[in-house]
Amino acid sequence: MRNDDIRLASRLLIRVLRGESLEAAMEVSGAALASARIRAWVYGVCRHYFSVSEQLANICRTPLTKLDREVFAVLLIGVYQLTHSDAKPHAVVSESVEAIKRMHKQSAAFLVNAVLRKVDRDFRPASLSGKYELPEWLIEKLRAAYGEKFIRSHLACLNSRMPQCLRVNQRKISPQDFHAALRSQNIDFTILREDTTVRLRDPQPSRSIPGYSEGWFAVQDASAQMPVRELDLQPKLRVLDACAAPGNKAFQLLEHDVELTALDINPTRSAWCETESSRLGLPLVITEGDATNKCWWDGRPFDRILLDAPCSATGTIGRHPDVKIHRAPGQLAALQDRQVRLLSNLWDVLALEGVLVYATCSLLPEENDAVIGQLAVANKDVRIEPLNVHPSERPLIVSREFGAQIFPDSDWGDGFYLAKLRKAKPAS
């Protein structure tokens, strides 16, 4: 019954609104069996949270913060269906009312009925948050960093759905042979700059793609594939992946036959990592350790270091729409502090003439160039190296003082920042 779907969707949405990631909420017991419709509702509410909330606030006499959380969730799902789906309005209203009754909220049935009957399918938000589906603080930070032209021409891209991209596992198959396998199954694709990076025209289950069981490819965003390419890898180099979980970039590193140390303070999804390691034929063990200290280090310097630092993830909103609900400006100082401590500590374990690539999936300068700037001021041996990433319009790539900012693009992938640093020998 649809009202049962509404009840399950509301429970999942409540978890997200409480601060749990959308991905984690979808993995809880029972949610894994959620129908495509339930997933579409929950993702849809997160994607359109600010416009849906704005219309709901305009209609509902009770302040949204005063609503019972289950009533609030059912109303959000109802407004989303009425404004962003082809569901019949009378069905949405009646099923939402029935759902709230079955949730033992009989007294709220009149409110749900009255509010949803007033929803305007053609509602146009008055606020910037509602128009762009982003929190106002983020819009203002992006305006300050990149200017009004960026706001007008590119801000909407942040909320676009991101494509499904694959990375060819060259330990198993050549890019050309993989392309041929896709064509043989009439799967349309586009090569994105490198022949090892493929974007599928139509997303599909990974297991239905040729070569899944054989480990011919890994699912990985196009932007996320770029940091490893900037490391100038050669076989047998000693390499550190400092924030390695869940392991996608570590697997990419292992394709280059390097001596890899994969480290993370909280190795997660170990079962997935073991399965993926077996499927790809790339043995990977992620060691638990905090890269802000050296307790895990054996004293031997690394030739290459990848620091994909924990960040606000503001470049991944199109793929993870809950990010814009969870992030707040007050979180940025702590994130930057950790990024600076990570980078400073890892600089100590980098060999002379070694290369460190710093990456985030953030769009905010305080997590990117500002972090590199602090390292450069504190260490005279920091040399900024040119990237093989050049300014462009699609995707939008902008050169910064120390690195490059890639912005989200529905034909490319997530937003990312990259900087390439070399530890210079002391001047003689």
> What residues are annotated to the active site?
361
Element (H, E) at 198: strand 197-200
C-alpha 108/C-alpha 86 separation (Å) is 25
C-alpha 368/C-alpha 251 separation (Å) is 24
> Nearest 5 degrees, angle CA 200-CA 415-CA 131?
95
Token pair for residue 408?
């989200």
C-alpha 192/C-alpha 266 separation (Å) is 32
Tell which residue, 87, 79, 75, has the closest CA to residue 37.
Answer: 87
Quick check: 403 and 387 in contact, CB under 8 A?
A: yes
C-alpha 197/C-alpha 92 separation (Å) is 42
Contacts of 305 (CB under 8 A, 6+ apart): 239, 240, 242, 346, 349, 350, 354, 355, 356, 357
First and final C-alpha spacing in the chain:
77
Query: What per-residue string of b and e applies to 207-243 under the rule 16 or more CB within 10 Å gives b?
Result: eebbbeeebbbbebbbbbbbbbbbbebeeebbbbbbb
Number of helical (H) and strand (E) elements in the chain, helices listed first: 17, 14
Beta bridge partners of residue 239, listed in sequence order: 260, 304
How many CB atoms are located within 10 Å of the residue 89 CB?
Answer: 14
Tell which residue, 151, 216, 161, 205, has the closest CA to residue 36.
Answer: 205
C-alpha 51/C-alpha 126 separation (Å) is 9
C-alpha 321/C-alpha 133 separation (Å) is 10
C-alpha 89/C-alpha 180 separation (Å) is 47
